[in-house]
């Protein structure tokens, strides 16, 4: 797989990474650890060297899983993880105090079985802690050799600029896909200006863009999508037209919907590195196949024209979580 640089930082990673959250958290029961480790190692064997985790995925279980899976090849991979929730629990709220960042990093290093974290993100902006203090704490960790690069997740333009002035950001991670294009308005131009890479999560719309989900689909009781307005039965039915259009485009390229959705992101900017997640080997292989699809200017224009006829309905987060993003 070809490599990409995240902005002007010098951090080179595979053109797409593996989002590891679904192996432990968010989409129903956690995967069997042995099967999850096999999938992580299969991703590496197939060219992926960029793996995304967080203390909140479990909590803690995902980092431990990644640490075990990648220990034999640690010097050949780039590991990203995140801090920012009290005790790693989303329900307990935000905590990005410098002392917490230091403690979380030390604990993550042990779980990841490594002496450094390649890319450390603030998971969500904490309104109670100035971002300059957060950036300063990460800067100290970088100076100590425990962290290599700093990132933010779901941060707004002002926060990005303030943090970057204290400790240069390597990457910003936010949701971005054919059905959530909000970053195009302000985030992407700012990142291009500052030389910061962009890491889209949920590039397949939490699975919706694959065409495997319709209004009749049921999710496990602990699947996060049960709470997402965009995944209500009514909204899934309304959004089916987007999937139909994507299917038509994919057929024209002898590809799948998922592959076109990822290839579209790769074609946006050379410093964009999507991190699709999956629990299935055949889906992993399908996603990786997107890296070999080249969308021409004409292809991108046709996609843009087709999408202009589609209106996506439903909020991407429930109201109590939406307030934590885009600060």
Any idea which residues carry the catalytic annotation? 57
Which own/partner pairs from 99-108 qualify as long-range (CB within 8 Å, at least 24 positions apart)? 101/134, 101/137, 101/138, 101/141, 102/137, 102/140, 102/141, 104/55, 105/141, 105/146, 105/147, 106/146, 107/55, 107/60, 108/55, 108/63, 108/81, 108/83
CA distance 164 to 252: 42
CA distance 70 to 53: 12
Contact 206, 226 (CB under 8 A): no
CA distance 53 to 87: 16
Contact 125, 104 (CB under 8 A): no
Query: How many of the other CB atoms lie within 10 Å of CB of 63?
Result: 29
């Amino acid at each position: 797989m070809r490599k990409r640089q995240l902005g002007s930082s010098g951090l080179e990673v595979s053109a797409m990474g593996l989002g590891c959250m679904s192996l432990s958290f968010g989409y129903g029961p956690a995967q069997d650890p042995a099967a999850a480790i096999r999938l992580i190692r299969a991703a590496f064997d197939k060219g992926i060297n960029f793996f995304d985790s967080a203390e909140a995925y479990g909590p803690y279980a995902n980092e431990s899983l990644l640490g075990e899976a990648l220990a034999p090849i640690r010097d050949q991979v780039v590991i990203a993880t995140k801090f920012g929730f009290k005790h790693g629990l989303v329900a307990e709220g935000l905590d990005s105090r410098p002392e917490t960042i230091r403690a979380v990093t030390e604990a993550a290093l042990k779980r990841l079985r490594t002496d450094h974290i390649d890319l450390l993100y603030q998971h969500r902006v904490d309104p109670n802690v100035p971002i300059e203090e957060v950036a300063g704490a990460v800067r100290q960790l970088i100076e100590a050799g425990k962290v290599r690069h700093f990132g933010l997740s779901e941060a707004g333009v002002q926060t990005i600029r303030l943090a970057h002035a204290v400790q240069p950001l390597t990457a910003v991670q936010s949701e971005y896909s054919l059905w959530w294009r909000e970053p195009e308005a302000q985030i992407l131009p700012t990142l291009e200006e500052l030389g910061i890479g962009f890491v889209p999560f949920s590039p397949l719309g939490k699975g919706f863009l694959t065409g495997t989900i319709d209004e009749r689909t049921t999710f496990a009781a602990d699947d996060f999508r049960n709470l997402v307005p965009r995944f209500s039965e009514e909204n899934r039915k309304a959004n089916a037209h987007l999937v139909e259009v994507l299917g038509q485009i994919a057929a024209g390229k002898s590809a799948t919907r998922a592959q076109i959705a990822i290839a579209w992101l790769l074609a946006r900017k050379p410093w964009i590195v999507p991190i699709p997640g999956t629990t299935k080997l055949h889906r992993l292989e399908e996603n990786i196949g997107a890296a070999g699809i080249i969308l021409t200017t004409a292809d991108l224009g046709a996609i843009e024209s087709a999408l202009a006829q589609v209106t996506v309905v439903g909020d991407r987060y429930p109201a109590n979580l939406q307030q934590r993003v885009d600060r």
